């Protein structure tokens, strides 16, 4: 069985979730529903760091903002890629609410997709992509 990781928006516990059960996922600690967009989990900086520490697979992150037109076009493609690829954990981080993290990572333009493995950045791609482009980015690592 394939799995992903998501942080609970209520208690901020990291949960390992079977992909097949993601639609009805609940937090193992507080029993709150865990919401996904496709198989993409939206996280804050602290939850992002927790997931990087526990993930046994690459973590691919879409850095975005609500005012960004290309981000709005890219979001559904990123979600589509999350459903097509079980070899990575898919996360979204809002750069407006997580400005310190965006600054620390040197994000200069959005959307920006970064792949992390073993807690370290290994690949970065600026701009919107198709779901096929996201999958190609993942297979290139």
Q: Residue 88's closest CA among 7, 14, 19, 11?
A: 19
Question: What is the set of active-site residues?
Answer: 68, 71
Q: Residue 106's closest CA among 63, 140, 66?
A: 63
Model pTM? 0.94
* Nearest-angstrom CA–CA distance, 18 and 16: 7
Q: Are strands 59-64 and 112-117 parallel, antiparallel or unpaired?
A: antiparallel
**In tens digits, what is the pLDDT along the chain, a chain of 141 residues?**
689 999 999 999 999 999 999 999 999 999 999 999 889 999 999 999 999 999 999 999 999 999 999 999 999 999 999 999 999 999 999 999 999 999 999 999 999 999 999 999 999 999 999 999 999 999 998
* Nearest-angstrom CA–CA distance, 25 and 23: 6
Q: Name 6's bridge partners.
A: 15
């Amino acid at each position: 069985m394939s799995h992903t990781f998501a942080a609970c928006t209520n208690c901020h516990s990291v949960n390992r979730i079977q992909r097949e059960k993601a639609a009805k996922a609940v937090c193992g600690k507080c029993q709150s529903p865990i919401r996904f967009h496709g198989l993409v989990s939206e996280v804050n900086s602290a939850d992002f760091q927790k997931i990087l520490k526990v993930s046994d697979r690459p973590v691919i992150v879409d850095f975005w903002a609500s005012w960004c037109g290309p981000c709005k076009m890219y979001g559904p493609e990123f979600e589509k890629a999350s459903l097509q690829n079980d070899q990575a954990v898919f996360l979204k981080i809002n750069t407006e609410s997580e400005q310190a993290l965006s600054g620390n990572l040197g994000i200069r333009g959005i959307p920006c997709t970064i792949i992390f493995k073993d807690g370290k950045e290994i690949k970065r791609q600026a701009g919107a992509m198709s779901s096929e482009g996201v999958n190609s980015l993942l297979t290139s690592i």
